Amino acid sequence: MIHDIASDVRYAARTLRNARVVSTATVLTLGLGIGLLTAVFSIVNAAIIRPLPYDNAHRLVALGEDHPREYSTYSVMSPAAFEAVHERNRSFDAVAAYQVRSANVALGAATGADRITGVHVTADLFRVLRVRPFRGRVFTADEATEDAKVIVISYELWTTRLGTSDSVIGSTARIDGMAHTIVGVMGPGFNFPMREHYWRPLVWRAGSPEWLERSVAVAGRLRDGVTLEGARADVATIGASLARAHPATQEGWSLALRSEIIERRAIPGPLQWMVMGAGAFLMLIACANVTTVLLARAAGRRAEMAVRAALGASRARLVRQHITETMLLAVAGGVAGVVFATWMLDIAWAAVPTQNMPSWLDFGIDWRVLAFTTGISIVALLAVGVGPALTATRVQLSDSLKLGAAGETGSRRELRASRVLVIVEVAAAFVLFAGSALMLESFRSLQRIDFGLQAERVLVARPWLSASSYPTAERRATYFEAALDRVRRVPGIGPAAVRGDLDSLRGAAWTTDSFLPRAILVPLGGSQPDPSPRANAGVGRYVVTPEYFDAVKLPIVRGRVFTTRDDSGSTRVAVVGALVADRLWPNADAIGRQFRLAASGEWVTVVGVVGNVRLMIGGARGTRTRLQPAVYFPASQATSRNEQLVMHAADPTAVATVVARALLTVDPDQSLGRVSRLSDEMGSPRQQTLWIGVVFSVIAAGALVLASIGLCGVIAYSVARRTREIAFGWRSARTRAGFAGQWCGRAFA
């Protein structure tokens, strides 16, 4: 048996070598289909299937707070809730909280600082992930204080900024101008959670406003023997006790658990499987193409099969011989597919900004991808090999051995089969083109979304100010006044302003004796917020300078915006978005109404209502939009954080570089983030749709090429098999043009 198989392989290799053109075309066609499908699967494998690079990653979970209404903050929880889980749970070996932040970091003898993203973490994070430092140690729970200035850095920082210095442990790193001691260096490739480069202790104070905000991500490691369902029940019990103890803020909220420590779907899962389906369609077209070629080749070898049958070869042996030849083609196609997939993945990786990609996302080809490719090759073998093998071995000795029988008369059954395959190819190609057209149309629809302001003509710049150079709100305000003065001198810049997130109302005392987050707005006449937090859910609280509304062209619906008269000594005022006005004062005019922040006793008077801003959100279910409820406070009456400069420009792209240079002259020691259009920041999920549309278009173009090749192959096969009939018809036709048209009509019928 083994000798027969070896003999079949040698004979198949000689046969394919003698038909180099057909063999090469078949291998390349299969390779293209297998390669594209393998490349898509590699991306899906990296994003969804491959385990995260941590010990027993399947035991790692994420925890958060969830609410059944639309503004759920499922992925985060408050420090207060985290402490409750940390102290009361019975399901986890360890739980840890973390916040991703960025800071101006200066290492070694560097005179300037770079803006680097890092993580503030509780000490148990390293125990949760079961990771050890490459050098030194990690910090302990005792060092989670404001006085303990310690930091652990990544392997990349150590090698690129410190030159793998042996004296790194104990050296100083300046974080926002403050000296920190480097106590450890993590191993290569560790950049948890995404692509961060340092880890500092996460510090909070019980009773502070931050204590109640849902702002920290939480990771946990299940104890041995604890199931996911058991852990969910455990945290649900803790959440229910929190809701009973603090109904004002926890009513309707529950503690939830997710089986993935990191939300890994940068591209939503459904879209990934849609691309996989498109790749499968292309593979179907490739298999149909190869089957057409092999059918034509099998018909041409009918006389050969008849001779071998006359010499005593059984039909099973002849089928095995054909399958062996197809197997060699499938193996070669699989190898070519891996090569094509590697090239495609290299191109895809080069086209994506790696700084925005998580470190664990590796498009490399591992054993799962090779197993997938092997499976696809086997499927291709069965799909393209069985039909031609049965056709070629279905011989009538008396007919097949007649001169010309195999060469010219042909089989109408085979011709019909080839035409059916081409119909399948063309239909699949049109399906792919329809899919790509729909994706690109979705992108165009997203391009036409009205954000409620002129986002296309607004530039956004974010200076990163160190805490040591600008420790107070007054110093930060002085910097931004100077920055505004510089950017207003740039030609092409119109109104410019500063916008930040609300930190506190100037002179107001935050209450610490009630479990009330400062996000909640309480209208005059109500001592407690609505138990259903819908009216306050997702409210953005912004601090702006008076020219902000003119800079972004946010329309004024009623009332007025801020003026220089709204200073620290005047009545506290605010401008609200139309959505907030409708929620807090339905069927009434909001102008002159008052509200307060739940964590402050200060009442604020509404002086204006502006239009709503629409946000674009990318998630596991794709890209969607929603209106952003917003309240705006004047910078003269409130302090802020995360400030950014916004400015109206006739041509934002042309002046972005000039604006960046002007801002760097204000204080060269401070780093500056990217200067970009507001529309690019608000509409970043559009790129996801564009990327999928481009991939679909590439697949559809490949499908069209393969379908065209298949159509040409069927026409060539039909002509080659009916040479005598064509010659006779050519001589007897009334006009050659009419004869050619008749044959073209048959080809496209």
Residues 247 and 395 in one domain: no
Quote the percentage of the chain above a pLDDT of 70: 73
Q: Is residue 705 predicted with pLDDT exceeding 60?
A: yes
pLDDT at res. 513: 30
Q: Which residue has the tokens 């009419």?
A: 738
More confident residue, 506 or 10: 10
Of 258, 287, 310, the last residue of a domain is 258
- Are 676 and 712 within one domain? no
Question: Which residue, of 681, 699, 721, is where some domain finishes?
Answer: 681
Q: Do 434 and 558 share a domain, yes or no?
A: no
443 in Cβ contact with 690 (< 8 Å) = yes
Question: Both 365 and 487 in a single domain?
Answer: no
The answer on 436 and 298 residing in a single domain is yes
Least confident of 24-38, 502-516, 668-682: 502-516
Establish if 686 belongs to a structural domain.
no
| Within-domain flag for 194 | yes
CA-nearest of 435, 329, 342, 334 to 704 is: 435
Sign of CA dihedral 208, 211, 212, 215: positive
* DSSP secondary structure string for all residues of 429-443: HHHHHHHHHHHHHHH
Give pLDDT, residue 509.
39
Which range has the worst mean pLDDT, 212-221, 395-404, 535-544, 697-706? 395-404
User: pLDDT at residue 736 above 80?
Assistant: no
Cβ-Cβ contacts under 8 Å for 709 (sequence gap 6 or more)? 29, 289
Q: Is the pTM of this model over 0.85?
A: no
Residue 286 lies in a domain: yes
Residues 519 and 385 in one domain: no
User: What's the domain range around 672?
Assistant: 455-681
Residues 181-191 have a mean pLDDT of 92
**Mode of pairing for the β-strands spanning 172-175 and 178-186:** antiparallel
3-state secondary structure of 626: strand
| Per-residue confidence (pLDDT) for residue 650, from 0 to 100 | 86
For residue 363, is pLDDT > 80?
Answer: no
Statement to judge: residues 156 and 287 lie in one domain: no
pLDDT band, very low/low/confident/very high, at 484 (cuts 50, 70, 90): very high
The reply to whether 283 and 344 lie within a common domain is: yes
**Average pLDDT estimate for 367-383:** 83
Q: Can you tell me the distance from the alpha carbon of 92 to that of 123, in angstroms, rounded to the nearest whole number?
A: 15
Report how many domains make up the chain: 3
* Average pLDDT score over residue span 714-718: 62
Domain presence at residue 64: yes
Q: Which of 191-200, 379-388, 481-490 has the lowest mean pLDDT?
A: 379-388
Question: Is 150 inside a domain boundary?
Answer: yes
Tens-place pLDDT, residues 583-617: 888 888 889 988 877 555 678 899 999 998 887 66
Please indicate, yes or no, if residue 382 is contained in any of the structural domains.
yes
Residue 234 within any structural domain of the chain: yes
Q: Is residue 339 part of a domain?
A: yes
Output the CA torsion 665→669→674→675 (10° steps): -20
Highest mean pLDDT among 175-179, 181-185, 247-251: 181-185
User: Do residue 424 and residue 558 come from a single domain?
Assistant: no
The confidence score (pLDDT) of residue 49 equals 78
Mean pLDDT of the chain: 78
- Ranges of beta strands (E only) in 12-112 are 60-66, 92-107
The pLDDT value given to residue 577: 92
Q: What is the pLDDT of residue 508?
A: 44
Looking at the structure, tell me whether residues 29 and 133 fall in a common domain.
no
Tally Cβ neighbours within 10 Å of residue 72.
15
Domain boundary (681, 712, 739) is at: 681
pLDDT of residue 48: 75
What is the per-residue pLDDT for 344?
A: 83
Whether omega for the bond prior to residue 193 falls within 30 degrees of 0, making it cis, is yes
Q: What is the pLDDT of residues 510-522, one digit of tens each?
A: 333 333 333 445 5
Q: Once rounded to an integer, what is the mean pLDDT over residues 235-242?
A: 91
Instruction: State the average pLDDT over residues 385-395.
Output: 68
> What's the whole-number mean pLDDT along residues 400-406?
47
Residues 6+ positions from 69 with CB-CB distance below 8 Å = 252, 532, 533, 534, 537
The verdict on 715 and 603 lying in the same domain is: no
Considering the domain architecture, whether residues 467 and 429 belong to the same structural domain is answered as: no
Read off the tokens for 318.
């002849």
| Region 558-573 average pLDDT | 90
Higher pLDDT, 717 or 551: 551
Burial of 728 (0-12, 13-18, 19+ CB in 10 A): exposed
Q: What are the distances in angstroms from CA 434 to CA 274, 700, 701? A: 13, 9, 12
Average pLDDT, integer, range 486-515: 70
